Structure 1
């Protein structure tokens, strides 16, 4: 009888796709904002911009194609490749928040994470439906009804959130899961 590897569900934006860096550059180029690195690293961009500029970014996100141009989070490719040795890896993105993003997200994953099987890519809304042992995500709301263990991936918008299992980068994520 074959035993199954434990499953790790991994979010996309701010976990393996650097959406924040793209959004920061977009705001600077479009509206001329100037922030210190400390301001960017310790704040949600939503708190740093005018409401009408946030609405303009939301409109861009709802068009969907922007999700295909994000940079890869440092260390994520090597980390997920290593984790495939001991775990089943699933990419689980709450794409239903921006339904037009699905094609761009899928193409981005195929380009940057070709070792993740297409059948292990899950576009969802409520992540409590996921049958995984671990969920690595930047938003604690996804852990509320998730049956496995949540691992909070640090991002500027969640630095003040108190959560028992938090990682600052992919090196820490691998260490937490493998040790």
Structure 2
């Protein structure tokens, strides 16, 4: 029986950081980089407070997010040896449900709809491994964790860190025969 992995969408499969930066420049005419966001919370990422939530609540935000570099190829490789579940705490932004489902169909058509979980609280997830960028999901997870680097988690080191999908594959190879 294959081990199972829960993979987060936003910040792991979907490059929301780049998208926030693009939308900020588009709407406010000011260019920020990922370095400018480093170590900040989502609430304080931009000069205007709450902008991340505002963008995430806007129609077409999730449908136009770029795919994280290397994600598609890595998930295809991982899927050969693991049972993959895509898990997203999508209930905070209910308009995102249809957009996220459509985005997954477009970019990850090889993931069956029965393997997609949209929830409000990831503490219900019971896979062997979780790959996520948020401590609120990883800290309470009972299995092995891989923290995907994001601007808001750079100051933490209580989970195995992966800076990109290549590093995720390396971590999984080192854990067991991949």
Same fold (TM over 0.5): yes
TM-score, normalised to structure 2, is 0.89
Give the match for residue 127 of structure 1: 122
Map of 2:7 onto structure 1: 10
CA RMSD of aligned residues (A): 1.8
Q: Deviations over 1:96-116 (max 9, x none)?
A: 111110100000000000111
Q: Is the 8 A contact 2:15 2:68 kept in 1?
A: yes
The match for 2:173 is: 178
**Does the C-alpha gap of structure 1 residues 10 and 72 become closer, same or farther in structure 2, counting only changes over 3 Å?**
same
Distance in 2 (CA, whole Å) between partners of 1:33 and 1:44 is 19
User: Partner of 1:49 in structure 2?
Assistant: 46
How many residues are paired up? 174
Structure 1: stretches of 5+ with no match in the other structure: none
Tell me if structure 1 keeps the 8 A contact 2:146–2:162: yes
The gaps in structure 2 that reach 5 residues or longer are none
Q: Does residue 152 of the first structure (1) align with residue 153 of the second (2)? A: no
- Equivalent residue in structure 1 for 2:19, among 15, 18, 22: 22
Mark the CA change 1:37 to 1:19 in structure 2 (over 3 Å): closer, same or farther: closer
Quote the Cα distance in structure 1 between the aligned partners of 2:48 and 2:81: 45
TM-score for the superposition, normalised by structure 1:
0.89
Equivalent position of 1:86 in the other structure = 81
CA contact (8 A) 1:68 1:107 kept: yes
**If each structure's helix is expressed as a fraction of its own residues, which one has the higher value?**
1
